[in-house]
């Protein structure tokens, strides 16, 4: 199975700005997914906030003129297919915080799994 991960980093993100940061991340990543021809997006459920995600996804796809570009659904953290994303995010997190020698991050980059991270903040478009 091949994998490609687009990484979006929102910084700085305060506790009260996490939902807006997630919205911004969807706005950056969704066009990349459409461009890659993704068929399905699996999203880790946040239960009561899944509806907010759905509206952001619908708005973004609608603005792009492709409201049915791919299927998407939410899953519990226990879904094994979400573990790939968790592992990639863990490698990126450690790299950004200089918590290790970045071996995992560099391996993911050199193998073409991770594209160049996109950095956004509150003032990003």
Average pLDDT over residues 34-63: 94
pLDDT digits over 93-123, tens only? Answer: 888 888 667 888 889 989 888 878 889 986 6
d(CA 101, CA 103): 6
110 secondary structure, DSSP code: H
Q: What pLDDT was estimated at residue 4?
A: 76
Q: Is the pLDDT at 2 greater than 60, yes or no?
A: yes
pLDDT digits over 59-102, tens only? Answer: 999 999 999 999 999 999 999 999 999 999 999 988 888 866 78
Which residue spans within 1-125 are E strands per DSSP?
8-10, 40-44, 71-75, 118-120
Q: Is the pLDDT at 1 greater than 70, yes or no?
A: no
d(CA 12, CA 15): 10
Q: Is the pLDDT at 34 greater than 70, yes or no?
A: yes
Q: What pLDDT was estimated at residue 124?
A: 57
- Which tokens is 91 given? 């490698």
Lowest-pLDDT choice from 32-41, 45-54, 110-119: 110-119
Cβ atoms of 34 and 71 closer than 8 Å: no
């Amino acid at each position: 199975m091949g994998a490609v991960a687009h990484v979006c980093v929102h910084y700085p993100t305060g506790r009260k700005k996490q939902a807006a940061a997630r919205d911004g991340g969807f706005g950056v990543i969704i066009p990349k997914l459409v461009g890659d021809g993704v068929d399905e997006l699996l999203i880790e459920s946040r239960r009561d906030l899944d509806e907010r995600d759905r509206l952001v996804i619908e708005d973004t796809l609608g603005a792009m003129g492709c409201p049915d570009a791919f299927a998407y659904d939410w899953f519990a953290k226990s879904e094994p297919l979400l573990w790939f994303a968790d592992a990639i995010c863990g490698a990126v997190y450690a790299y950004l915080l200089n918590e290790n020698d970045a071996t995992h991050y560099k391996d993911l980059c050199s193998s073409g799994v991770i594209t160049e991270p996109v950095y956004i903040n509150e003032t990003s478009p």
